[in-house]
């Protein structure tokens, strides 16, 4: 995994899945009957347990920390909770200058010590079996949640501030960016070996808006994290029109969804950086022959070029058969085995 992130040759194409920690696994569902998501994420022993589940169950090449992108908000003084079937809810949205001025910037160890303790536990348990991925939500996505107060279809409140009160927008983005830099630095210092930045809502923007209102902040995050010596991945949903700009932000890999062909996306971001993706998560609900066909097509488009990490185009769906995920991991590994290709 780490070699692929650095575009170095690998024995086979590495595989992991967004939202692999939990969701479709029976062991995770058993825990969820006892604990809510935030309790799992904030209890290091439980967080580590969930994070490690797919490494053994699915044979993936990386563990990704079980967490929620909203966790840093608590240290900022922004109250939130997770409403089942809806998502994050912020009772008091951030919409005025006073709201932004009230946001606190504290050391990450003070705000989210449970995250870093869980990372240390997972690294000890992994003992080199798989790489450990840490992550954060992007400043843009977090700012959207903070302004809207809940998931939205059009993010009208956020865009109203962005376009109508740009000074407030940039003030908020600067604060959120500083918090995320500290949060990710803490994850790396605790033992995270790769960092992924999730820009879940960036697809609502056009290229010009992204360049003006988002790119400077994403660029700072990647610059700060790369200075720590770990590879970085930039993921966005519905962001086919933004791929070149997302690459310009400075990640080592750009993670693409299924709405763009992998080889075409790689041409656009440049072969001087890696790519991650990009099977439609819903494909995993189809018969195996369809999954196999689509996965092999993605591998064909990657063409054995160093720097490809196989993943879904977004998170694992809850109804996905874990056995089929394991078959997919085996398929990717066996189809791209370098020893097989070399006749060893």
Q: Residues near 287 by Cβ (< 8 Å), separated by ≥ 6?
A: none
**Catalytic-labelled residue, pool 7, 19, 182, 273:** 19
Helix axes 166-190, 139-148, angle to 10 degrees: 120
Q: Tell me the torsion sign for CA atoms 33, 85, 205, 162.
A: negative
The single-letter DSSP state of residue 29 is: H
**Catalytic-labelled residue, pool 68, 99, 263, 297:** 68
**Catalytic-labelled residue, pool 7, 23, 185, 273:** 23
290 is catalytic: no
Cα–Cα distance, 154 to 84 (Å, whole number): 21
Beta carbons of 241 and 268 less than 8 angstroms apart: no
Bridge partners for 62 per DSSP = 131
19 is catalytic: yes
**Catalytic-labelled residue, pool 28, 29, 32, 259:** 32
56 is catalytic: no
Beta carbons of 270 and 250 less than 8 angstroms apart: no
Cα–Cα distance, 77 to 71 (Å, whole number): 11
Cα–Cα distance, 138 to 1 (Å, whole number): 23
**Catalytic-labelled residue, pool 7, 61, 145, 252:** 145
In the numeric block, the tokens 């169950």 are attached to 57
Token pair for 13: 């194409």
**CB-CB neighbours of 245 under 10 Å:** 21
Q: Tell me the torsion sign for CA atoms 326, 331, 333, 334.
A: positive
199 is catalytic: no
Closest CA to 181 of 230, 116, 226, 225: 225
259 is catalytic: no
What is the set of active-site residues? Answer: 19, 23, 32, 68, 145
């Amino acid at each position: 995994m780490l070699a692929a992130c650095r575009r170095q040759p690998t024995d086979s194409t590495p595989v992991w899945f967004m939202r692999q920690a939990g969701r479709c696994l029976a062991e995770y569902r058993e825990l969820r009957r006892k604990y809510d998501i935030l309790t799992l994420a904030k209890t290091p022993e439980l967080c580590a347990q969930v994070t490690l589940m797919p490494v053994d169950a699915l044979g993936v090449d990386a563990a990704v920390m079980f967490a929620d992108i909203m966790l840093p908000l608590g240290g900022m003084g922004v109250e939130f909770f997770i409403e089942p079937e809806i998502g994050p809810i912020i009772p008091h949205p951030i919409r005025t200058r006073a709201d932004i001025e009230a946001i606190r910037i504290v050391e990450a160890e003070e705000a989210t010590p449970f995250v870093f303790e869980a990372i240390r536990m997972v690294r000890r348990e992994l003992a080199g079996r798989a790489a450990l991925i840490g992550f954060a939500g992007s400043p843009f996505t977090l700012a959207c949640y903070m302004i809207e107060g809940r998931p939205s279809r059009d993010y009208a409140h956020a865009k109203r501030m962005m376009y109508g009160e740009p000074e407030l927008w940039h003030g908020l983005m600067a604060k959120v960016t500083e918090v995320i830099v500290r949060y990710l630095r803490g994850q790396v210092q605790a033992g995270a070996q790769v960092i992924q930045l999730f820009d879940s809502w960036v697809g609502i923007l056009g290229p010009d808006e992204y360049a003006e209102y988002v790119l400077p902040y994403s660029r700072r995050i990647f610059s700060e994290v790369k200075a720590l010596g770990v590879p970085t991945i930039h993921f966005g949903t519905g962001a086919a029109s933004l791929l070149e700009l997302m690459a310009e932000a400075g990640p080592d890999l750009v993670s693409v969804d299924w709405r763009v062909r992998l080889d075409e996306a790689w041409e656009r971001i440049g072969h001087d950086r890696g790519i991650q993706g990009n099977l439609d998560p819903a494909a995993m609900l189809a018969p195996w022959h369809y999954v196999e066909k689509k996965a092999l097509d993605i591998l064909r488009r990657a063409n054995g070029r160093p720097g490809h990490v196989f993943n879904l185009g977004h998170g694992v769906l809850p109804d996905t058969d874990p056995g089929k995920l394991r078959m997919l991991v085996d398929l990717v590994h066996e189809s791209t085995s370098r020893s097989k290709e070399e006749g060893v």
